[in-house]
Amino acid sequence: MPTVTITLDGPRIGEDTADLIYLVTDTTDASAAEAAAFAVAPATYGTLVRRDPTVEPDGYDIWRVTIPYRKREKQETGGSSYSFDTGGGTQHITQALETIETYVPPGEPKPDFKGVIGGTIDGTEGIDIPLPAFNFSETHYMATAAVTPAYKLTLRGLTGKVNDAAFRDNAAGEVRFVGASGSERSAEDWEITFHFEASENVVGLTIGDIVGINKKGWEYVDVHYTHAVDPAAHVIIQKPWAAVVLKVCETASFSGLGIGA
């Protein structure tokens, strides 16, 4: 098995360059020596990235492997990159997922508020909770010939729309196109970044005594309440009596973005 050691005369540092030099022993195969050194070399050196090594004999069964590190290359036209974050904002809710416990004075019956948060005689106050979200962006380098006035109008028209078919492993209804930002990188191409938000579709949601509610990620559930009397505690409560699933974002095909599905 090849043995790899880094030499004492490295790294060699230049302007936006670095070279790590390894000695590989215990092999007569130059390709095996190259592979062994490449496997132990770090993928990056500061902001520089690893490039293909060169191999030279340095004695009997000894190989000198130089691994260069250089600046990241400019993305070619047609290339792309991807980034994401899972930060979110807040959402005002009036309905809990579950009632854990209700505490009342000893001997008093426990009212069932049906999961309503901040119910009063006049309505429901609710609370603000953290809203999980999955945001992702893609940067594409598109040929100038493809970034026409018509294409820019297409991007404008799709902004705020929700996918009507599967997109990036998300089901229809889960991804909203937030918008795009672009700039002309050269006479040959444009750098365009596409921004998206993803929210899961929900099946079988329960709100109070209402069961079997299905909603897509960017649809909104509007809960309507009515006064009711808790039969055990004999108190007036707010009770969900209808849950209306509303479409609040238009749907569209994302094929017009020109970045695939």
Per-residue pLDDT tens digits for 158-179: 999 999 999 999 999 999 999 9
Does the pTM exceed 0.95?
Answer: no
pLDDT of residue 153: 96
Q: What are phi and psi of 119, to 5 degrees?
A: -70, 135
Tokens of 212: 């079997």
- Tokens 């018509």 belong to 150
Residue type, 132: P
99 pLDDT band (50/70/90 cuts)? Answer: confident
Tokens of 24: 């590989």
For 46-65, write each residue's pLDDT tens digit: 878 888 889 999 888 889 99
Nearest CA to 196 among 163, 172, 222? 163
For 123-139, write each residue's pLDDT tens digit: 777 777 666 678 999 99
pLDDT of residue 137: 93
Radius of gyration of the chain (CA): 30
Q: How far apart are CA 82 and CA 65, in angstroms?
A: 33
143 pLDDT band (50/70/90 cuts)? Answer: very high
CA 60 to chain centre: 52
Contact 196, 176 (CB under 8 A): yes
Higher pLDDT, 137 or 102: 137
